[in-house]
Amino acid sequence: MFELKTIALFMITAIAEIVGCYLPYLWLKQDKSIWLLIPAAISLTLFAWLLSLHPTAAGRVYAAYGGVYIFVAVLWLWIVDDIKPTTWDIVGALVALAGMAIIMFAPRS
């Protein structure tokens, strides 16, 4: 159960980070409203707070989180950008998730 909670928290964290970066991208690259920066700032604040909820060392959390971020970014590519991931996108995301699992769930002495 701990593992599922950890992965779910990482996925929510990744969505908060991606939204916080995607909204300024829309403003800068697609001439959307500057008001998008307000929810972007809120989303990035939420992202930082969510990362602080993990009960292990910050460096370990950041390293493992990167694997989930890669996976969620590939999902974003598919769902939001409407670009079907390649086989290599999927393989890379699965390798990143495997790395996250090793870092977070390996036995510790």
Q: What is the DSSP letter of 35?
A: G
Confidence (pLDDT) at 34? 97
pLDDT at residue 88 greater than cutoff 90? yes
Confidence (pLDDT) at 72? 95
pLDDT digits over 28-87, tens only? Answer: 999 999 999 999 999 999 999 998 898 777 888 888 899 999 999 999 999 999 999 999
Distances (CA, A) of 27 to 30, 83, 102: 6, 21, 38
Q: How many domains does the chain have?
A: 1
Instruction: Write out the residue range of the structural domain in which residue 65 sits.
Output: 2-105
Greatest C-alpha distance within the chain:
53
